[in-house]
Amino acid sequence: MTLPVYAPTMTNDRYAHRRAEFLDQLGDTIAVIPAGQEQIRNDDVEHAFRQNSDFFFLTGFPEPDAIAVFDPGHDTESYVLFVRERDVEMEAWNGRRAGPEGAVERFGADAAHTIDEFDAWFRKRLRGRTSVGYTLGGSYDARIVQAITSAKASAERLGFPIPASVSDPRHILHEMRLVKSPFEIDALREACRISAIGHREAMKYASPGRTEGQVQAAMEYVFASLGSERVGYGSIVAGGDNACILHYVENDQPLNDGDLLLIDAAAEFHHLTADITRTFPVNGTFSAAQRAVYEVVLEAEQAVIDICAPGLPFTDMHERSVEVLTAGMVDLGLLPGPADEAIAKGWYREFFFHGTGHWLGVDVHDAGDYRIDGKGRPLVSGMAFTVEPGIYVAPEKGSISLSHAEYDADALAVASFELGASKAKADWAQAREDAGMFDFEVPEEFLGIGVRIEDNILITDDGYANLTDLVPVSIADVEALVAERSELPIFG
């Protein structure tokens, strides 16, 4: 029986050089990196499959139910894939499979077998290896432990060594993911370009009477039209006070005249994603209160982007953002002053309670350490991240309770690590009480206003590139674009 040829969609070069580097860094460790698994949505319907990021980074192999083994100790088979076997009937239902043959021919494996051959093969391959690289906590835990323990009995009788330890290979991988290769920079730029065009369309498409969902549809239509495989994360299209919910994804409310619309959404391209947020008035004109909040957030965003350069410690960006945002919030009357005190006591966290940015890449919150030995990691050329300050004045914040306790984010993080999150949270609430609390009235005109502005920054040899500046941020430019009409139709 002749099986249809599996159509390759990309070359393997970029994965080959990553594998070579990974193998080099593994030393004596044999590493096992499992693929993602399909997740049931309901009954016999699955969620759309998207490959595990670490697995994809090394293999480019798009199917579920696969395992990649990296064995630097083997001369000819240091990269072995275990994959689903070809099955005409199953493929007719659920899509094409590469099979072991395709895994070798089209995905560059030195050897490949079907996934059910993994356990016996792996047990044999453990002979003479000193450690296993595997990330505990995944669905293959039991099989890895079983392979090691069952090999141990024979190894003791026959007197050959098998691995005595399991180590997490993610640290090596995540350091590799942190600094982008030329290919990744190209793909990230394209993801940013596509995302930016989608945001521009959303700005033109939104108007009073349309819904969050309709704006989402217009934007995602643009993403797909321009070749994006999928969104990089669930689109947040939050009108009015929904903008004060950080991960609002219902996207099912009508847009009202006078509301702001916050959109945090982006397209994925070749498995790299952008991450853009813009906030704009649905009717095309900022109210005085909306404008005042927006200007503070924009000033903070630009101030942070301005300092981006090789050598800047990552944590300096958040400090700068907190300085500008807090000064602005005190000026607006959202917080009591002086700004120094509002920072030292963490009062700004009433309205700005997330980080200023995160690494960006294969994952929207990409891999890699933010600190080294407790200190902010210096930026280097090839790193990509977001800058995304915000102010969220939820409708229920008409009166806020502030404390005189000194706020120390690092100490709280350590407490959370040592005591668990709920105990640490309770202790902090008690410390706030003990230091003395007071109420503060928030001006009513700001209630229900949520603003975030987010761009994507790539560090270059001599500074930075803003990859998402195609989407306007200044008040004049935003209002001008919202005033333009989208060419896309509205149905119903």
Closer CB to Mn ion, 328 or 390, in the complex: 390
- Of 98 and 236, nearer to Mn ion (C-beta) is 236
**Binding segment for Mn ion among 35-43, 252-260, 274-282, 410-418 (CB under 5 A)?**
274-282
**Does the annotation mark 392 as catalytic?**
yes
354 is catalytic: yes
Nearer to Mn ion, 29 or 386 (CB): 386
Q: How far is the CB of 468 from Mn ion (least distance, A)?
A: 11
Query: What's the full length of the chain, in residues?
Result: 492
17 is catalytic: no
Catalytic residue among 392, 407, 455, 464: 392
Q: Name the residue nearer to Mn ion (CB basis): 201 or 275.
A: 275
Q: Which of residues 112-131 bind Mn ion (CB under 5 A)?
A: none
Q: 203: closest CA among 269, 262, 288, 133?
A: 262
Contact 279, 295 (CB under 8 A): no
- Catalytic option among 452, 455, 464, 479: 452
Residue in 275, 301, 363, 455 binding Mn ion, rule: CB under 5 A:
275
Chain-centroid distance, C-alpha 205? 27
Catalytic option among 71, 190, 241, 275: 275
Minimum CB separation of residue 386 from Mn ion in Å reads: 4
Least CB distance to Mn ion at residue 70 (A): 31
Site for Mn ion in 385-424 (CB under 5 A): 386
Which residue pairs from 18-21 have beta carbons closer than 8 angstroms and sit at least 24 positions apart in sequence? 18/57, 18/58, 18/176, 18/181, 19/58, 19/59, 19/70, 19/79, 19/108, 21/176
Q: Report the nearest approach of Mn ion to the CB of residue 357 (Å).
A: 7
Give me Rg for the CA atoms of the chain. Answer: 26
Options 14, 143, 193, 354, the catalytic residue: 354
Stretch of 231-239, 266-274, 380-388, 427-435 contacting Mn ion, by CB under 5 A:
380-388
User: Which one is catalytic: 43, 44, 75, 444?
Assistant: 44
Beta carbons within 8 Å of 435's beta carbon, 6+ residues apart: 403, 404, 405, 406
452 is catalytic: yes
Bridge partners, residue 451, by sequence: 391
Contact residues for Mn ion (CB under 5 A)?
275, 386
Give the catalytic positions in this structure.
44, 247, 264, 275, 354, 358, 365, 388, 392, 452, 454
